[in-house]
């Protein structure tokens, strides 16, 4: 058996590459509280695409070893294919977003779409490395390389959370006439007595304090703020309906010191839980800026 | 930018022109009319604290 395996180098290499590529895709395909990709069909789509990606990565190795260099142009087809995946995700999510009580926002959608594209490339990488090692060395080296590649892809999988860039504390929701405040930060003007009463009863306030100058820019990003509100509303529930335009969760900035006030109307009136949810919310890649990295900064690099 | 869909007031002197104006007899009626208009127009009611309430459609700005 082992002798036969040693003889069928290319076949074994491709099979191992595909298997490890698929394992990488499955390990990166998590349907968590966001329920995205949707179960079951959204998942089927991504598992199938993962299979294609794994196949492409694995097949590239034998073609290279046979000095069939033009076959590598095949990979450009793959890149095109996965750009389409990103497009597809973006379009679907944008369409769905208009039907959400608290929308995700364009930045969050772009982030999710980017992740889908990126993960397919990680699958190609895993399949390629596995196939390469099992063909050039031996099949067991392929398995070891595959495991290492999966660990590496999983390392790149997770981004930062709000807890890395900011402190969050619970705050008091106050009504001063029609003006709504969270601690000292102005949120909005509420005209109706009825709505004010609901806000007094059900409103929860949180204050997000950025840890440094770079984080301040990230938190100020409108897409990032909308993502926070969406995540909080998904997990905590939201007291809101169509035709109730005033019952709107909002996040407003203190322009003076960069603190962000988050005003929520959750189903679960648990400020401490809301604080924990907010701390675990993702930092959107597209919202990150690094003003401290600019050449004009004199006093060294802050927050590095 | 939000769009003013309607103006509700008990003080005729404060308002003129532009959006539809609803005149009401007193402050209590002001709240009631604004409440109904908010649900009907799907526009948030804001209190200008001078006896005038405006109903603003914020959604048309974000889309």
Distance CA A210, CA A217 (A): 9
Query: What is residue A35's predicted lDDT score, i.e. its pLDDT?
Result: 77
Region A253-266 average pLDDT = 94
> Measuring CA to CA, which residue among A181, A182, A200, A180 is closest to residue A190?
A180
Backbone angles phi, psi at A190, to 5 degrees: -110, 115
Query: What is residue A304's predicted lDDT score, i.e. its pLDDT?
Result: 46
Query: What is residue A126's predicted lDDT score, i.e. its pLDDT?
Result: 95
Place of tokens 């982030």: A111
Is the Cβ pair A178, B47 closer than 8 Å? yes
Torsion, Cα A173 A288 A30 A166, to 10 degrees, reads: -40
Region A141-169 average pLDDT = 92
Q: Does residue A37 come out as left (phi exceeding 0), alpha (psi in the -120 to 50 range) or beta? A: beta
ipTM: 0.90
> Measuring CA to CA, which residue among A145, A93, A83, A94 is closest to residue A120?
A83
Contact A261, A183 (CB under 8 A): yes
SS3 for B44? strand
CA dist list (Å): A302 to A19, A51, A212, A293: 44, 43, 7, 8
* Residues of chain A contacting residue B24, judged by C-beta atoms under 8 Å apart: none
Backbone angles phi, psi at A299, to 5 degrees: -80, 45
Question: pLDDT averaged over chain A?
Answer: 90
Listed in sequence order, the residues at least 6 apart from A12 whose beta carbon sits closer than 8 Å to its beta carbon are A5, A134, A135, A139, A142
Distance CA A90, CA B22 (A): 43
Model confidence band, residue A222 (pLDDT cutoffs 50, 70, 90): very high
Query: Is the confidence at residue A155, as pLDDT, over 80?
Result: yes
Query: What is residue B6's predicted lDDT score, i.e. its pLDDT?
Result: 94
Q: Please name the residue of chain A whose CA is at the shortest distance from the CA of residue B31.
A: A192
Query: What is residue A299's predicted lDDT score, i.e. its pLDDT?
Result: 63
Mutate to test the interface with B, among A178, A245, A247, A252 (most CBs of B within 10 A): A245
- Report the share of chain A in percent with pLDDT over 70: 96
Query: Is the confidence at residue A303, as pLDDT, over 60?
Result: no
Partner residue facing A191 (CB), from B39, B45, B58: B45
Tokens of B11: 């003080």
Query: What is residue B23's predicted lDDT score, i.e. its pLDDT?
Result: 94
Helix axes A106-136, A139-157, angle to 10 degrees: 160
Is the Cβ pair A178, B44 closer than 8 Å? no
- Mind telling me how many Å the CA of B56 is from chain A's nearest CA? 9
Query: What is residue A301's predicted lDDT score, i.e. its pLDDT?
Result: 54
* Residues of chain B contacting residue A177, judged by C-beta atoms under 8 Å apart: 47, 49
Partner residue facing A191 (CB), from B42, B47, B59: B47
Query: What is residue A300's predicted lDDT score, i.e. its pLDDT?
Result: 57
* Residues of chain B contacting residue A246, judged by C-beta atoms under 8 Å apart: 38, 44-45
pLDDT tens digits along B35-63: 999 999 999 999 999 999 999 998 865 55
Query: What is residue A124's predicted lDDT score, i.e. its pLDDT?
Result: 93
């Amino acid at each position: 058996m082992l002798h036969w395996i040693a003889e069928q180098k290319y076949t074994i290499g491709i099979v191992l590459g595909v298997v490890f590529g698929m394992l990488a895709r499955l390990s990166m395909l998590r349907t968590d509280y966001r329920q995205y990709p949707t179960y079951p069909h959204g998942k089927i789509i991504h598992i199938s695409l993962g299979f294609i990606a794994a196949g492409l990565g694995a097949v590239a190795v034998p073609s290279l070893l046979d000095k069939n260099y033009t076959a590598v142009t095949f990979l450009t087809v793959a890149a095109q294919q996965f750009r389409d995946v990103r497009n597809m995700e973006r379009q679907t999510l944008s369409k769905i977003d208009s039907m959400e009580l608290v929308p995700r926002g364009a930045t969050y959608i772009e982030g999710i779409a980017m992740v889908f594209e990126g993960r397919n490339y990680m699958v190609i990488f895993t399949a390629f490395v596995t196939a390469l090692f099992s063909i050039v060395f031996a099949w067991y080296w392929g398995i070891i390389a595959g495991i290492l590649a999966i660990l590496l892809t999983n390392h790149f999988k997770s981004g930062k959370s709000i807890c890395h860039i900011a402190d969050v504390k619970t705050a008091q929701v106050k009504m001063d006439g029609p003006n709504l405040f969270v601690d000292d930060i102005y949120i909005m003007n509420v005209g109706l007595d009825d709505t004010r009463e609901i806000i007094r009863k059900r409103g929860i306030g949180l204050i997000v304090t950025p840890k440094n100058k770079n984080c301040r820019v990230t938190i100020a990003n409108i897409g990032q703020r909308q993502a926070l509100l969406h995540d909080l509303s998904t997990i905590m529930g939201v007291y809101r309906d169509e035709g109730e335009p005033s019952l709107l969760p909002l996040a407003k900035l203190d322009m003076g010191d960069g603190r962000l006030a988050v005003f929520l109307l959750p189903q679960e009136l648990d400020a401490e839980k809301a604080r924990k949810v907010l701390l675990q919310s993702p930092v959107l890649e597209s919202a990150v800026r690094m003003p401290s990295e600019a050449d004009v900064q004199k006093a060294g690099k802050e927050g590095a | 930018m939000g769009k003013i869909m309607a103006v509700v007031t008990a003080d005729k002197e404060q308002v003129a022109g532009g959006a539809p104006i609803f005149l009401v007899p007193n402050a209590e009626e002001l709240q009631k009319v604004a409440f109904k208009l908010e649900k009907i127009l799907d526009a948030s009611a804001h209190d200008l604290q001078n006896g005038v309430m405006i109903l603003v459609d914020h959604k048309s700005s974000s889309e």
